[in-house]
Amino acid sequence: MSAAAISVRGIGKHFGMLKVLGDIGFEVGEGEVVALLGASGCGKSTLLNIVAGLAAPDAGDLWLHGERAVGHDERRSLAYMFQEDRLLPWRSVRANIEFALEAMRPRLSARERRERAATTLETVGLAAFAEHHPHQLSGGMRSRAALARSLVGQPGILLMDEPFSKLDPQTRAQMHSEVLRLKTLRPTTILFVTHDVEEAIVLADRVIVLAPRPGRVREIVNVSLPRPRSATDADVAEAIRRLRLLV
Ligand SMILES: Nc1ncnc2c1ncn2[C@@H]1O[C@H](COP(=O)(O)OP(=O)(O)O)[C@@H](O)[C@H]1O
Ligand SMILES: [Mg+2]
């Protein structure tokens, strides 16, 4: 059996006296889409930051593709889409994406960077807006730009922390379809954080339900409904209803 893309083993974390995460363990298979679902403050962002290497756990360890992840080297293939889009306001969309690519792949030539940025912007439907600045874009377009920035380095693993929570429901649904469409173009493992039960059911193959104080795994739910999934479908609505009872 091949190694899991992500293996979280006995992770614990304190902030001072506050025990935020207690003995968390789960795996994410290659190509799987997994949601971390839990109430605000239960430690979802802290856990994702630990996977990303932005925070260190006090206990346990993390394995990526069968390798123990101790630093940045094992996280080469990982991209992180934050809760805020974090686009640099003084740079065009294209320049934002080239800048991110330069940090991820410093050996690429300027020409290669430009070509890859253009291709990625085309993929997310933003080619016509490459020279726009972030303030000139709608919320949905900014979200696409942030997604393009995450994907331009061709990550094997994409982490997302409530990336669509500020969008209106219609734009959020469009971004969900977009993420799933992009995943069919290039195989990617996705681990994302949400407090939105509907988002978890629409996107995920499996949902890890976290309990708070300290954050720990309460339940793992398989979602085997066919895609695309819409909350207006009876079986999807039923899965949402059942998951709500667990959160
Ligand atoms: N850097 C930090 N220092 C101290 N406390 C923190 C820090 N980051 C998060 N916390 C606390 O840890 C808990 C979990 O936070 P977080 O991981 O952001 O939760 P979530 O993303 O589920 O809303 C909260 O009580 C928060 O106040
Ligand atoms: Mg959070």
In this structure, which residue's CA is closest to atom 17 in ligand 1? Answer: 43
Which helix or strand (DSSP H or E) is residue 119 part of? Answer: helix 110-123
Same domain, 148 and 161: no
Strands (E), the chain: 6-15, 18-28, 33-37, 59-64, 67-68, 78-81, 157-161, 189-194, 206-211, 216-222
Residue in 18, 36, 37, 159 to alter for ligand 1 test, most ligand atoms within 8 A of Cβ: 18
In this structure, which residue's CA is closest to atom 24 in ligand 1? Answer: 41
Ligand nearest to the CA of 44: 1
Phi, psi for 175 (deg, rounded to 5): -65, -35
Question: What integer pLDDT is reported at residue 1 of this predicted model?
Answer: 61
Q: Looking at residues 148-164, what average pLDDT do you find?
A: 96
Same domain, 2 and 104: no
Question: What integer pLDDT is reported at residue 181 of this predicted model?
Answer: 94
Same domain, 52 and 143: no
How many structural domains comprise the chain? 2
Q: What is d(CA 240, CA 202) in angstroms, rounded to the nearest whole number? A: 9
Q: What is d(CA 19, CA 35) in angstroms, rounded to the nearest whole number? A: 22
Same domain, 93 and 211: no
Ligand 1 in reach of 165 Cβ (< 6 A)? no
Chain segment 129-142, per-residue pLDDT in tens = 999 999 999 999 99
Chain segment 171-225, per-residue pLDDT in tens = 999 999 999 999 999 999 999 999 999 999 999 999 999 999 999 999 999 999 9
Boundary of a domain, candidates 135, 154, 173: 154
- Statement: residue 111 has pLDDT above 70: yes
Q: Which domain holds residue 188?
A: 1-77+156-247
Residue 21 confidence class, pLDDT cut points 50, 70, 90: very high
Question: What integer pLDDT is reported at residue 15 of this predicted model?
Answer: 96
Question: What integer pLDDT is reported at residue 73 of this predicted model?
Answer: 86
Same domain, 54 and 173: yes
Contact residues for 241 (Cβ-Cβ < 8 A; gap 6+) = none
Same domain, 13 and 134: no
Q: What is d(CA 7, CA 50) in angstroms, rounded to the nearest whole number? A: 12
Question: What integer pLDDT is reported at residue 229 of this predicted model?
Answer: 96
For residue 82, being part of any structural domain is answered with no
Residue 104 confidence class, pLDDT cut points 50, 70, 90: confident
Q: Looking at residues 162-179, what average pLDDT do you find?
A: 94
Chain segment 37-79, per-residue pLDDT in tens = 999 999 999 999 999 999 999 999 999 999 999 988 889 889 9
- Statement: residue 100 has pLDDT above 80: yes
Share of the chain above pLDDT 90, in %: 94
Q: What is d(CA 37, CA 200) in angstroms, rounded to the nearest whole number? A: 7
Boundary of a domain, candidates 97, 127, 154: 154
- Statement: residue 26 has pLDDT above 80: yes
Ligand nearest to the CA of 37: 1
